Amino acid sequence: MARLQLRGVRKSFGPVAVLHGVDLDVEDGEMIVIVGASGCGKSTLLRIVAGLETATAGRVYIGERDVTAVEPAKRDVAMVFQNYALYPHMSVYENMAYGLRIRGMASNLIEQRVQETAALLGIDQLLRRRPRELSGGQRQRVAMGRAIVREPKLFLFDEPLSNLDAKLRVQMRAEIRRLQRRLGVTSLFVTHDQVEAMTLGDRLVVMNAGTAAQIATPMQIWERPADTYVAGFIGSPAMNLLPAVLEAGGRSARLEATGLSLPFADGPRPGPAGRTLTLGIRPEHLSPGSGGLTAIVDLVEPLGSESVLHAHLADGTQIAARLQGSGYSEGTLGLITTPDALHVFDRASGLRLERSAPA
């Protein structure tokens, strides 16, 4: 196990800058999930850690060792890819043993490690099969097993669950988390799936256009997103972001879409009257009621114990609500929220305006 440190990591492909100076400290045994939309630089960052890409600037440290210019095979990291990257002509056993053989490990130790790892992953009955004879979930376990037998200092996962069906993804997600905790190996996991990110990571790195928009625990990011990008990315449906203007006294803001005045919870004032804001309201923090927003429901998604409503306000502003129960229908519906559920952002910069002490 080892600590991972990134210092000012930048990457450009010709004139195109992909990473803009990323700093990150991953503690020994920690699972960090890098999440973001396609093209945000998350996989490039992972490949720089692995040594598969060279940083244009910045340093990479594994433990106390500067590995910025060290070739991949000598970094003592193991990577699990989206497409499994198994050798099709080799059996499961041979795939798992190959990396140990080329390192010159004794045959009896290879046998022991492969058998122990296969039993850990529940694939000990598959060791004689070839990859083409395995299901997607079995192939993913083999790919993980090939990484585990090496006992590396660092695990790297590049969207390893993307090719699995929804049910299997949930199962494999839980297995990866249990294994990582059991083995205690420092890990980086890249995904575009926010559910994977929220459930797997000790901390998340939310990437936006080559920068780390926020690095924090899943619940810190959920409760106190650093800016409107993070607020709109984490959550399903995404947080509602509504333009507003701070009213005189600084204790409330007027929504531009409807003219409705929404009071803030107790806390410092977010600026002078007239300051332009963006108010964030998570869909699950809305509930049916009068005296609040008047929404025109366009679509109802019944989910059993709850329903997701897609609606718009009078000026066309889109809004979503995640409500308990069922039986909702298209048409007009009043929605209310509470002052402590409001997230306040500066409209010009998109940055969060702190209004109360952390929960």
User: Each residue of 310-331: pLDDT tens digit?
Assistant: 999 988 999 999 999 999 999 9
Task: Determine the 3-state secondary structure of 65 from DSSP.
Answer: strand
Could you tell me where in the chain the CATH 3.40.50.300 domains are found?
Answer: 4-228
Could you tell me where in the chain the CATH 2.40.50.140 domains are found?
Answer: 230-346
**Structure token digits, residue 317:** 């502003």
Query: What is the C-alpha separation between 153 and 184, in angstroms, rounded?
Result: 10
Per the DSSP assignment, residues forming a β-bridge with 61 are: 5, 66
Task: Determine the 3-state secondary structure of 353 from DSSP.
Answer: coil
Is residue 81 within 8 Å of residue 143, measured between CB atoms?
yes
**Structure token digits, residue 229:** 């990008």
Domain spanning 230-346, CATH class: mainly beta
Q: Is the C-alpha dihedral spanning 132, 134, 140, 141 positive or negative? A: negative
Q: What percent of the chain lies above the pLDDT cut of 70?
A: 98
Pick 4-228's CATH classification: 3.40.50.300, 3.40.710.10, 3.60.15.10, 3.40.718.10: 3.40.50.300
Query: What is the C-alpha separation between 117 and 63, in angstroms, rounded?
Result: 25
pLDDT at residue 266, as a whole number = 80
pLDDT at residue 355, as a whole number = 53
pLDDT digit string, tens, across residues 151-189: 899 999 998 888 888 888 888 888 889 889 888 999 999
pTM over 0.85: yes
Query: What is the C-alpha separation between 240 and 236, in angstroms, rounded?
Result: 11
List strands edge to edge, sheet with 318-324. Answer: 318-324, 306-312, 287-302, 331-336
Per the DSSP assignment, residues forming a β-bridge with 65 are: 62
Is the pLDDT confidence value at 79 over 50? yes
Query: What is the C-alpha separation between 166 and 151, in angstroms, rounded?
Result: 29
